[in-house]
Structure 1
Amino acid sequence: MSSATATSSLPVVVIGAGPVGLAAAAHLVERGLEPLVLEAGEEVGAAVSQWSHVRLFSPWRYNIDAAARRLLTAEGWTEPAPKRLPTGGELVEEYLAPLAQTRALAGRIVTGARVVAVSREGLDKTHSRGRGDHPFLVRAVVAGRAVDHGARAVVDTSGTWTQTNPLGTAGLPAPGEVEAAPFLLGPLPDVLGRERQRVAGKHVVVVGAGHSAANTLLSLVRLRRSEPATRVTWLVRGASVARTYGGGDADGLPARGMLGSEVRQAVEAGEVELWLSSAVTALQPAGDRVELVVATPDGERRVTVDAVAGATGFRPDLAMLRELRLDLDPGVEAPSRLAPLIDPELHSCGTVPAHGTDVLSHPEQDFYIAGMKSYGRAPTFLLATGYEQVRSIAAHLAGDAAAASTVQLELPETGVCSTAEPVIDADGSAILNPETGGGCCGAPEPQLIGIPTGLAHGRSAL
């Protein structure tokens, strides 16, 4: 048997069993290809389950992949009401878990398998000759042991949830940030549930100006109304929060427009204390509290608080891909052909044109990064965009070049878009100023689909 024949008999390994990973598996099955899905968590949608309390902006009609719907419908699945807004928990329980249990996908998903490296069998990245004829080697850790899998192709949909950006302004943890870990709540804390005792009646600082921050702020405001001693401070590096307040009634997704409007009302009512142009420069644990050193336009300020919610976004884990030949933008850390479309210094829109294998390919033949991770450090990934990515990838791997290159997407508008002068975003990146007007980067305006109210922040996605 030739090496090419041996390689083609291997599965396509999909890293991650979230919405985009399972959609990839569904499209691969429909194309007659064999997927093997490796999920680090103990259940499908493990990352989504960590923000199970958060409600998505978009209704069910935008959150279900077409191939996944076909697999589910064939087994008698009842689709949720298309206009209903699901929580993260409902997304897992009513969609991802049933999808994983379909006859087509059951047995092709391995949970508790954390991928730590992807390479080529017998070759490190310095070897070029015949590289594409060698199968991929995907190493996962299962129950503390390394398990290697051969693959004809690899689709990395592992996301960025575990790689949060630090509070520090230089892309590095602020001095004392590591030591202050016990006081950090994470990007989407359940302050009305699991984390309630940590924050009720306490002083909590929220850092960031995206939708993650807005979601947490509103939850804290609701807590404050029943626990009046709760104090909420909002630190934003930029000079404006107009982008956070959003498009209001002009937003095609009413839940998202309402989010920004409610944050504005809370600030104007004095329920949230807003610090603009303010950056955390150090953290110093002080007994059962933590002192923040903050640079402001009026000089250094120090504030002692009980907890900090860092909604500063996410970044991709590229360490496990070190032995592959990737073509990534050096700044955004997204595929180089995708990066100009999503770079926050150039692009303020919450969407990009539909794209597939032509944009996502790398020098490493038959390797793709899809889903949230494909956006690297850039903002506002769209779930529906991820579904279109993996549809195109599956078509390409099946040899259907025409279907792979024919990409399209229909999404609602945000009501907010700009191509004007840049300002500094909450995570230190330059964005475009939504107050100065402008068009939408010469592209259509449809936006964030499938992004929960807490995950549409500048460095996140689903």
Structure 2
Amino acid sequence: MVGSSTSVDVAVIGAGPYGLSLAAHMRARGVEHRIFGEPMASWKNNMPAGMLLKSYPWASSLSDPRSEFELKRFCTERALPYHDELMPLPLSRFIEYGEAFQARYVPAVERKILMELEPGPGFLRATFDDGETVHARRVVVAVGVHPFKRLPQEAAHLPADLCSHSGEYGSLESLDGREVIVVGSGSSASDLAALLHERGIAVSLVARRPKLHFADRPRHRSLFERTTAPMSGIGHGWMLATCAHYPQLIRLLSKDLRVQLANHRALGPLGGAFVKDRVVGKVPVWLSHATRGIETHNGKVMLDLVDSGGARRPMRADHVIFATGYKIDVSRLGFLNQTLLRRIQLVEGAPQLSAHYETTVPGLHFIGPAAANSFGPVCRFVYGTYHPARHLARHLSAVLARFQPARQIRPLDRTVLP
């Protein structure tokens, strides 16, 4: 394959929930495509074992063409414990489900890495780590949030042995026997603090906020509560329900309002409902403390903290994990050719997208979290896979049919699960 060149109608970059869902729908419609990446890579490699998903199990299914292989069915077929709301979804179970979905609907995932994407005459040129060059009429980028990890500027100079981002775990084995500080107040921070503590690692949690907030534990909700604050796949309330179900309407709003909705305060920072009792009263927590400076001394990390009253508090540890979230900035995607990058119009670092998830570069599409500034917060959740998978597969099927001779579309050949 080294040095070879091929062409395809659609190339999908990324094999997480969004990329797999889109590929499943395109396969059902007979759209010629190839999908590249390690299936469920970020979930397998960048999230700690033992983590629980914050989303309800009923809202954690990938999108297949017939809506027939939801997480509930996967668990039922394997006699695994499941409840729509009353029990949490372990990370390991979600990964197993994603891999089963991939085997069933997207068997031809190609495990290779995109090195460069650049414009060509009537196509986009994608060069991969094995030397193959693919000329694609359309490219759909579905890379998730991992490339967009956000570290405080003052931590940028620290070596990886002393400082890391929560999105780099993964196994926690390298932290055994060390003193660790986790900085942050959202689900990644509380998850890591709980898991490190339960592993016997000395861990402290530092947060700027005056209080840690956690999602409410599942409970029976009255008719009044369900009416005034309906449940959706991304949270409670009419605003979030509208965002969850009508992303195409969200795209029609003003830029400022779209960005505000994409970062809706109800969505975080917020710990998972089943993690609160594993953190509060068990892990030392320093609230209302902001980081003013970070230094290293004799192999230790020294944090210069200041509380809400202006009092300074130094802390030191063997390692600091910054659970400081993600900020979409497509300029950080190293595979984007600079000529291509300059042609992408941005909204707060994210690509401005058409109704068909297309950037200002014809043929280049983004789905998943990178689309949130155009289509709202549902793009940040697995629940949001439904919308671009159905819409974009239908759109690409119609558009690309103009370039193809008439052909019979064969029914989806579904692989039977073992």
TM-score by length of 1: 0.62
Is 2:313 the partner of 1:304? no
Q: Which residue of structure 2 lines up, in the alignment, with residue 98 of structure 1?
A: 100
The 2-side partners of 1:199 and 1:55 are apart by 21
Q: Which residue among 12, 29, 32 is the counterpart of 1:31? A: 29
Is 2:195 the partner of 1:219? yes
Greater per-residue helix proportion: 2
Is 2:282 the partner of 1:279? no
Q: Which residue of structure 2 lines up, in the alignment, with residue 164 of structure 1?
A: 149
Mapping of residues 222-237 of structure 1, within 5 Å: 222-223=198-199, 227=200, 230-237=201-208
Alpha-carbon spacing, 1:264–1:20, altered in 2? closer, same or farther (3 Å): same
The 2-side partners of 1:52 and 1:35 are apart by 32
1:35-71, Cα deviation, whole Å (9 max, x unpaired):
21111xxx41111102262222335432223426668
Q: Which residue of structure 2 lines up, in the alignment, with residue 57 of structure 1?
A: 54
Q: Is the 8 A contact 1:163 1:314 kept in 2?
A: yes
SS at match of 2:55: coil
The 2-side partners of 1:207 and 1:281 are apart by 13
Q: Which residue of structure 2 lines up, in the alignment, with residue 117 of structure 1?
A: 116
Q: Which residue among 194, 203, 210 is the counterpart of 2:186? A: 210
Tell me by how many angstroms 1:300 deviates.
Answer: 4.0
Alpha-carbon spacing, 1:71–1:367, altered in 2? closer, same or farther (3 Å): farther
Q: Which residue of structure 1 lines up, in the alignment, with residue 344 of structure 2?
A: 326
SS at match of 1:245: coil
Q: Is the 8 A contact 2:194 2:278 kept in 1?
A: no
Q: Which residue of structure 2 lines up, in the alignment, with residue 245 of structure 1?
A: 214
The 2-side partners of 1:52 and 1:304 are apart by 24
Alpha-carbon spacing, 1:275–1:379, altered in 2? closer, same or farther (3 Å): farther
Q: Is the 8 A contact 2:289 2:307 kept in 1?
A: yes
Alpha-carbon spacing, 1:285–1:150, altered in 2? closer, same or farther (3 Å): farther
The 1-side partners of 2:319 and 2:373 are apart by 28
Q: Is the 8 A contact 1:60 1:80 kept in 2?
A: no
SS at match of 2:161: helix
Alpha-carbon spacing, 1:61–1:157, altered in 2? closer, same or farther (3 Å): same
Q: Which residue among 61, 64, 67 is the counterpart of 1:67? A: 64
Q: Which residue of structure 1 lines up, in the alignment, with residue 40 of structure 2?
A: 45
Tell me by how many angstroms 1:16 deviates.
Answer: 0.5
Mapping of residues 126-141 of structure 1, within 5 Å: 134-141=122-129
Say how many residue pairs are matched.
Answer: 330
Alpha-carbon spacing, 1:210–1:78, altered in 2? closer, same or farther (3 Å): closer
Tell me by how many angstroms 1:15 deviates.
Answer: 0.3
AA partner of residue 339 (structure 2): E
The 1-side partners of 2:68 and 2:107 are apart by 12
Q: Which residue of structure 2 lines up, in the alignment, with residue 367 of structure 1?
A: 364
Mapping of residues 358-397 of structure 1, within 5 Å: 358=355, 360-375=357-372, 381-397=380-396
Tell me by how many angstroms 1:210 deviates.
Answer: 1.2
Alpha-carbon spacing, 1:48–1:18, altered in 2? closer, same or farther (3 Å): same
The 1-side partners of 2:398 and 2:275 are apart by 49
The 1-side partners of 2:98 and 2:44 are apart by 11
Q: Is the 8 A contact 1:204 1:305 kept in 2?
A: yes
1:192-231, Cα deviation, whole Å (9 max, x unpaired):
xx4256244x4321111211112112223434xxx4xx54
The 1-side partners of 2:339 and 2:148 are apart by 20
The 1-side partners of 2:107 and 2:278 are apart by 47
1:124-156, Cα deviation, whole Å (9 max, x unpaired):
xxxxxxxxxx011112222xxx32101121110
Tell me by how many angstroms 1:31 deviates.
Answer: 1.9
Q: Which residue of structure 2 lines up, in the alignment, with residue 87 of structure 1?
A: 90
1:338-387, Cα deviation, whole Å (9 max, x unpaired):
xxxxxxxxxxxxxxxxxxx5173322223211012333799781111133
Structure 1 unaligned spans of 5+: 1-6, 123-133, 338-356, 401-462
AA partner of residue 207 (structure 2): V
AA partner of residue 183 (structure 2): V
Is 2:172 the partner of 1:195? yes
Q: Is the 8 A contact 1:52 1:87 kept in 2?
A: no
Tell me by how many angstroms 1:188 deviates.
Answer: 5.3
SS at match of 1:292: strand
The 2-side partners of 1:178 and 1:213 are apart by 22
The 1-side partners of 2:362 and 2:185 are apart by 38
AA partner of residue 40 (structure 2): G
Mapping of residues 137-156 of structure 1, within 5 Å: 137-142=125-130, 146-156=131-141
Tell me by how many angstroms 1:335 deviates.
Answer: 3.5
Tell me by how many angstroms 1:291 deviates.
Answer: 1.7
Alpha-carbon spacing, 1:314–1:217, altered in 2? closer, same or farther (3 Å): same
Q: Is the 8 A contact 1:279 1:296 kept in 2?
A: no
Alpha-carbon spacing, 1:383–1:78, altered in 2? closer, same or farther (3 Å): closer
1:88-117, Cα deviation, whole Å (9 max, x unpaired):
333232x33233333x6323x210x21132
Mapping of residues 166-181 of structure 1, within 5 Å: 166=151, 168=152, 172=153, 174=154, 177-181=156-160
Alpha-carbon spacing, 1:187–1:363, altered in 2? closer, same or farther (3 Å): same
Question: What's the % identity of the aligned pairs?
Answer: 19
Bigger relative contact order, structure 1 or 2 (CA pairs below 8 A, ≥6 apart): 2
Tell me by how many angstroms 1:336 deviates.
Answer: 3.6
Q: Is the 8 A contact 2:183 2:321 kept in 1?
A: yes
AA partner of residue 211 (structure 2): V
The 1-side partners of 2:127 and 2:385 are apart by 24
AA partner of residue 385 (structure 2): G
Tell me by how many angstroms 1:265 deviates.
Answer: 8.0
Q: Alpha carbon RMSD of aligned pairs, Å?
A: 3.7
Q: Which residue of structure 2 lines up, in the alignment, with residue 455 of structure 1?
A: none
SS at match of 2:325: coil
Q: Is the 8 A contact 1:190 1:196 kept in 2?
A: no
Alpha-carbon spacing, 1:162–1:336, altered in 2? closer, same or farther (3 Å): closer
Is 2:165 the partner of 1:186? yes
